[in-house]
Structures are given as C-alpha cells and as structure tokens.
Structure 1
C-alpha cells in the first residue's frame, strides 16, 4: 500500500447526503479558494461542517449534536483526497463509522489515527484565531512550531522567581521602614553600654578616698593643736613636746602620701544621663543589625532580578532561533506579537495573514482549510487569503452569504443549485 501520509492532500470531491441541512451535494472544487455561497439557512455551513466532520472525527462530532438531517435515519459524507478516500456514516443508533481507503481500494486499519496525523497538531478556521484570547493565541502559536523549551515550564520558573523577589521586596520595604525609625549613627557613642553599678562603685570608692583625706586632715589639725598645747607646756613637759612634734611630723607625711581630692559632684550627673546614653547605644546596635539585614535582603532581591533577566534572556534567545510561520512573529507574557508589538494592535490584514499562515503551518499534509463566516471579510482580506493559498498551494473553503447565485458553488435547499 502506498504511504500517503507523506504527501500533501487536497479535496478533489466532496459528497454528502442528509448531513445536517444537506439533502445531497456533489462538489468537485477547482482552484485554491472554494467559495460556498447562498442565502442563509440553505446549508452552506453544513457543507464546511461535513468537510470537517469527515476528517476530525470525535472533535467535530462532539460539536454537532444532530448530524443527521431531520426526518432521515442516516447520513454520509465522502471525501476524495486524491490518494485516499474518507467515508464517514452516521445512523440514529450509533455515533458513526469511519473508513479510509486508498485509491486502489485497500482499507486502512487505523483510519482516525491516519487522519489525525494528516490534520497536524491543530486544525482550525483561521478566522477563529483572531477571535481567541491572547493566552489561547499563544497556545495556538506554540502548537505550530517546535520550541527548544517548554513555555509553561519556563513561565512557572519565571513566576516562582518573581514571587520570591516580590516576597524579598516586602522584606526590604519593611526593613527600610524599621531602619528609618532609628536615630542616625553617632560615632561618639561607645560600642557597649556602661554599667550603673560600676559607676556607683566608682563613686563610692571616690567618696571613701575623700573621707580618708578628711580624716587625715582632721588628724593633722588635731596634732597641730597638740603641738601648740605642748609648746605652751614646754617648760612643763619637754618630753611631751618632742613626742607631739614627732607625731605631728608623721601626720604630715601621711597627709602628703594621700592622693588628690576627687570632685564627686559629676557622678550624680553621669548617673542621671547613663540610661539615656545606654538607650542610644542599644538603638545604634539595633540600627547596625537592621542595616545588615537590609543589605542582605537587597542583595537577595538583586539576585532574583538577575535570575529573572537570565530567564528572559534564555527565552528571547530560544525564540530568536525558532522559525515562525510569519517573519517577525513571536510571543511574550501578554500574548502573540508581530514585529515586537501585540498582534491585537496590528492591522486587520496583518492579523488575517498571521492567522492563515498559522493554519497552513499546522496542516502541512492535508492542505485544506475552512473559513466560516467568510461574509465578514472584505475584498482585501479575500485577496490576502487567495494569495496565501496560491503561494502555499492550499485549498481554502470559504462560506459566504450571497443571493445572486453567481458566486462560487451556490447551495439552495441543501443541494447545489443548478
């Protein structure tokens, strides 16, 4: 059996009976753009739905609650893709059957798997891409190219670092506020607090020293009086005078040996200001500690910022190496971009060109696209679609509302108008 999965396929013939609004249609399209026209509620959409129902299988069936035309018991859609023929049937009793056979009549054992491979990773109406949310547009774009990284994993990593940096940023703000509550650093303050008990002990020692001096002075004065008394009684007691002079000399020596008097009035003032000074010392220590915490937090925040920049650089370098279907196409956290600006801000023509290019890139094997609501497209948009279809050799089925009967294949009452 010939391997058709490597060939590019197009619809050479579409036959459908009793599918949705269709009675019976037989269409052999020509050209790259196949226009399905007619008035509303005549079966135009059913033609494009039949095309996709035959190919997409379960996905299309889930979107269609009633595939069989009202009043009928079964429906069938047959697609001739040149090298293979796809036939899907529905009855009221089952969800439908699918057969895929080669041009020589040989049947494939896994028909839906074959079609899924031909449909690519995403088969859609190109216009639907324009109406998607930015997040869904990114998912669509990612599904059409081979990225050297997992965008979701990279975004999870970026968000994790971003959240960590945000948390550290809160710590930085808190520490900055805490640091601002302390007085400025005073270089004249000692590093450690002074002890009140030590100061009291020093004051007691000084008072004792002064008391010793006072006692020595008192003793010297007393001995001086004794000398005077002894001199007065010299004639009466020479021996007493000599002894008094000796004692007086000893007292003078003791006085000279005493240290200098200490002014104790400052101790009271120092004691009064000691607690205030110690509070400032404690505050200065706390300030130094908080400043250290703040410096560490800022360093951590800077490291997180560097990590975020590396992630963004990794993503940018990886995206730069990807070959997107349209030059200048890429994406960021906000959505799909074209030449560095959001796709939503590009012109309608540019958005349409991107949408069709993505649809074509997603379906390289089965070169068939469908566009519902083609009446919403102006002549410029239709020209763009025709040019892209011709350039890439694609077959684009377009539904338009037309009452003239002169545009494309006209559907009337579920059949091709004659």
Structure 2
C-alpha cells in the first residue's frame, strides 16, 4: 500500500502563517488563491519536512514572524513527521512511538515527487532514461540504438561512395566500336608477317611456273631443232607437262590476302587500346557502384530489423502510462516529444513516471496547475483516483476547481470535494494560530 499524506499543519513557513489541511486520499487537492498568498509555500513546507534539509527554502521563516517554522505531517503508514524549534530539527515518530530519521523517510518517499519541476526541467534524454530505468529495458534498448546508429553510419558512407561511383561512371567515355580486349602490336605484326610469308610463297610458285613455261618453250624449240634427240627428251617433256598441269591448277586456286586492315590497326593501336581500357574502367566502376548499392540495401534491411526489434521491445514493456514511449533517445507521449506536449500532458506524464520511480510513495506535489482547463483538470483528477495517487497542487485563482483558498497565509475558504466511498475524507479540523 503506497504512503499518502493524511493530514498536515504548517505555521510560519515562507508566506504561510497558519494552515491545516486534510488532502483527498486519492485524487486532487487543489490549493487556490491569488499570487503571493502562500500557495507554493505549502508545497515547499511539505517538501522540506519530508525531503530533508536539501529542500529547505533559503528563507524558510516567515519574515514578519518571530516564531520559528513548525510543520506537522501525519502519513498513512502511521508515521508522524515534525520540524519545529529554532533549528527546525526533524522528528520522525513511528506508530510504536519509536523515533526515526530521514533515512526512514527516504526509503519510501520519492524525491522527485517533492520536486516535480526538477523532472520537468530535465533534458529530453534524461526523461527518457528515467522512463527506461522504470521499465527495465534501458541497457537492451541502448544496445539496439547503438547497433542501429552503427549500421546507419555504415549505410550512409556506402551510399556516399556509391553515389560518387555512379557520377564517375556517367562522366566516363565509352566506345562501343572498340574490341573487348587490348590489341597487341606484336600479334598484329606476327599476323602480318605470316601473310607476307604466304604471299612470298605464292610468288615463288608463280616464279616457278614462269620458269617452267620458259623451260617448256626452250625444250620445244630444242625438240624442233633436234629431232634426233626427240626420244631422249620425250619423257622429260611428258614429265614437265604433268608438272605444269599440276602447278597451273594450284596457282589458279591461290588468292592473295590483304594487309590493309592490319596495317591500319597497327597504326591506330594506341588509340584503340585507350578506348578498350576506358570501356573496361567504366564496366568495373559500374560493377562497383552496383555492389555498393547492394550493400546499402542490405544495411537498410538490417536497420529496419533493429528498429522493429526496438519497437517490439518498447511495445512489450510495461509503461507507467499508456501512450508513453522512447523514440531516438527521447521521451514521447502519444507520438509527441516533450516540447510538443501540452502543459497538462507534461504534468500527467511526469506524475506517472515519478509515481513508478518509488511505488511506495503515493503522493506528488505539483505547482501551477492553472495550465489545465476545468475539463482537463477534472479528467486528471479522475485518472489520479483510478491510479490511487494523491496530488497536492497549487492553482492561481479562486474558481470552483480549488479545494481550498489561501489568503494572506491563512485558509480563507474550504470547499468539500467528492471522495470515493472506499476512502471517506476525514473532517478537517479548524485551525487555531499558535497551536500544534
């Protein structure tokens, strides 16, 4: 059962002269009044009494009074907390009558419940860290966020490199008429020499034919002249005739190959190879750009996976308030960051988180509740009742939303509040100045 404030009595603290208050057990107790009448002084007195001397106001004693401050608070767990005397020393008495001290109070009272502005003025990251501490997934979520940031940085760098590669590819020349491989001058010269050799052989055969024809003519003349030697040269003539016939057939089939294309290739070999290398560089650059694009897409998929894991982790976490979450290391409520929340939403979020920091502390002190309109204030009060949480708050004004009105350090008006029947409100005793 969380601890609530059952009754409090305050005298001569800051602007308060004498105030007795019995707060509503569950829900809102709104202290109204004009500025400078002592509303915030009531909250400061409670914070000082329960939170220790670190929360003591710098000018605690009411300036017009010669009587030192006195604070008397009764808690729902039976403890009685007092500060009185010149030194305003702390006295804590438990139900058995035994004395205790600040250490006992610290065991069940959440310091931020006494100092809500400290939480509300913290950075967005500090608020988020507080929430993650409550739901117990801070370390795991931080690990996922570091992993996501690392993957994001890798993807960003690869994306930049891929963009540069693609731009470089677009600027590079490409020659569609160039061969796929660089041309070798030695190979072209060798091919040229092979052709010249074959052509030389052809010429040799032509020359050989011409010689044979000459020999035949000379032999025929010899035959004509030397009929007597006909028998001797007849065989030779027949042989030559056969050879001539064979040679003629071979020569008729011969075709010389042109070297003009190779000569042009040899002459332009450097220009051709420049194009070949340019084409190869462009193809290689395109392949690298495509590979980097693939890596970029892979990292994007990994980042999406980490983000889904982080969202699943937050969705499964038991949040102190529906709609609370942490996005990019910042606290959010209903999808809105802290600076985009209304003042009423900020108060509700702060109250829910602070309550969960120490569930044994069942109350929160809240200043400047006038930023809530009456409808929002009523809804806030209903939510507090459902949560079993007690809030003692101040409100600049004297409208019907106020539970009590303070004027010039005293309670001017006490207004009855609706209290759940399960927790009936005790009758508020009338205050007599100077009596504790």
Partners of 2:44 and 2:191 lie apart in 1 by 103
Deviation at 1:66, TM superposition (A): 4.5
Within the alignment, does 1:11 sit opposite 2:5 as a pair? yes
Residue of structure 2 in register with 1:202 after alignment: 191
Are 2:150 and 1:160 equivalent residues in the alignment?
Answer: yes
Q: Distance in 2 between matches of 1:84 and 1:381?
A: 34
Aligned to 2:422: none
Shift of the alpha carbon at 1:198?
0.7
Task: Give the 3-state SS of the residue equivalent to 1:119 in structure 2.
Answer: coil
Q: CA deviation at 1:272?
A: 4.5
Map 1:15-414 onto structure 2 (within 5 A). 15-16=9-10, 19-22=13-16, 24-32=17-25, 33-57=28-52, 60=55, 65-67=58-60, 77-82=71-76, 83-87=78-82, 98-108=90-100, 111-112=102-103, 114-120=104-110, 122-123=112-113, 135=125, 137-147=127-137, 150-181=140-171, 192-222=181-211, 224-225=213-214, 227-229=216-218, 231-232=220-221, 235=225, 260-272=255-267, 274-333=269-328, 335-338=330-333, 353-402=348-397, 408-414=403-409
Unaligned runs of 5+ in 2: 413-430, 432-436
Contact 1:122 1:144 in 2 (8 A): no
Structure 1 residues 200, 99: CA separation in 2 closer, same or farther (over 3 Å shift)?
farther
Measure the CA separation in 1 of the matches of 2:243 and 2:390. 133
Contact 2:5–2:75 at 8 Å: present in 1 too?
A: yes
Counterpart Cα distance in 1 of 2:368 and 2:173 = 72
Shift of 1:205: 2.4
- Using the alignment, how far apart are the partners of 2:169 and 2:184 within structure 1? 27
Deviations 1:137-162 (A, max 9, x none): 53454344344864333222221111
Shift of 1:48: 0.7
Check 1:351–1:400 CA distance in 2 against 1; reply closer, same or farther (3 A cut).
closer
- List gaps (5 residues or longer) in structure 1: 1-6
CA offset at residue 383 of structure 1?
Answer: 1.5
Return the alpha-carbon distance in structure 2 between the equivalents of residues 404 and 321 of structure 1: 42
Contact 2:71 2:83 in 1 (8 A): yes
The 10-residue stretch of structure 1 (322-331 or 368-377) with the greater mean CA deviation from structure 2: 322-331
Length-normalised TM-score, structure 2: 0.72
Change (3 A) 1:395 1:238: farther
User: In 1, Cα distance between the equivalents of 2:52 and 2:145?
Assistant: 33
User: 1:334 deviation in Å?
Assistant: 7.8
Tell me, in whole angstroms, the C-alpha distance in 2 between the residues paired with 1:255 and 1:121.
121
1:385 CA displacement: 3.3
Q: Call closer, same or farther: CA 1:120–1:164 in 2, change over 3 Å.
A: farther
Q: What CA distance in whole angstroms lies between the structure 1 residues aligned with 2:245 and 2:261? A: 30
SS at match of 1:290: helix
Structure 2: distance between partners of 1:315 and 1:79: 45
Give the Cα separation in 1 of the matches to 2:337 and 2:50. Answer: 33
SS at match of 2:292: helix
- TM-superposed CA distance for 1:296, in Å, is 3.1
Matched residue SS, 1:398:
strand
Name the stretch that deviates more: 269-278 or 155-164. Answer: 269-278
Does structure 2 retain, via aligned residues, the 8 Å contact 1:13–1:26?
Answer: no
SS in structure 2 of the partner of residue 123 of structure 1: helix
For 2:368 and 2:341, locate their aligned partners in 1 and report how far apart those are by CA, in whole Å: 21
2:428 is aligned to none
Match of 1:3 in 2: none
| Cα shift at 1:372 | 0.8
* Residues 316-343 of structure 1, C-alpha deviations (whole Å, 9 max, x = no match): 2222222323334434338555555668
RMSD: 4.5
